Structure 1
Amino acid sequence: MRGLRKYLTPFAPDQSGAVSVLYELGGIIVICDAGGCTGNVCGFDEPRWFERKSAVFSAGLRDMDAILGRDDRLVAKLVDAADKIDANFAAIVGTPVPAVIGTDYQALKRMCEKKTDLPILAIDTDGMELYDKGEEKSVSCIIYCICKGKI
């Protein structure tokens, strides 16, 4: 067992930081996961959840969806949510599962922008960095969209 190292995710990982920046901005936030990460963000990492609701959703990835890259299902869910919710933007926030399979967030962004009238923020978090890195990625993405005139 000599030299054995274990790597655990942070207690409040980068996707939680990314969501915290976007939480009160009036957008649709889709956490690209199977359901566990969204529960952690809303239940533990985002105390505002108990006082003020926000449109935070889980992508609901299933094993085969993730493995086979069925991005069309995620896009369809986001389009459905955009039709039902009056939002200023939509954001796709990454987690460990899409990071492991190499999800192309920019491609997801383009697919979603073609089917909605919303600007889409693609935030490439992987659940392995700290909270502040996720905040940084969200703010950078927002500034980029403002500079491009999308928001």
Structure 2
Amino acid sequence: MLGSWRWNVGFGIAGVGLTVIFSLGNNPMSVILMRSLYAFVAFFVVAFAARFVLGVILQPPAIPMGPSEEEAEDPRGAEMDLRTPDESDDLNQLLKAQLQQGASSSPQPATQPVKEGANEGASSFKPLSPPQLVSTAGKQPEELAKAVRHLTGE
């Protein structure tokens, strides 16, 4: 538990003080003393519960002193490799292929050379070639108005 019994007594005295302050003008002294005793007991018990809850919440987590036998034998997950492989040659080949594609008149994407040990999925890769954006210069005003109405929901 957090703290000592003195905290409980302090809470109990605070409860007595509040009871006396709120009851002084309306009740006789015998009723005030009886309610103050009840308030002291109630606040004393509530302070025990509060100290217990705070002790559980604020307790530091248990830290193991050393690695267990299972962790010492299994090195998986003990280290993390943050290096990335050097792919500058692949990038250069891809850029050259795109330049050659732009120079030629065929719209077919250039194929990349397959590395040794690469699977079938990598050899069938084709870069995305999105359609060209259309300008509004050659469109009729009625078509443009219809498209705007459609987009705005009118």
Q: TM-score range by the shorter chain?
A: under 0.3
Q: Which has the higher helix share?
A: 2
The normalised TM-score by structure 1 is 0.22
- Structure with the greater relative contact order (CA < 8 A, sep ≥ 6): 1 or 2? 1
Q: Which has the higher strand share?
A: 1
The normalised TM-score by structure 2 is 0.21
Between structure 1 and structure 2, the one with the greater Rg is: 2
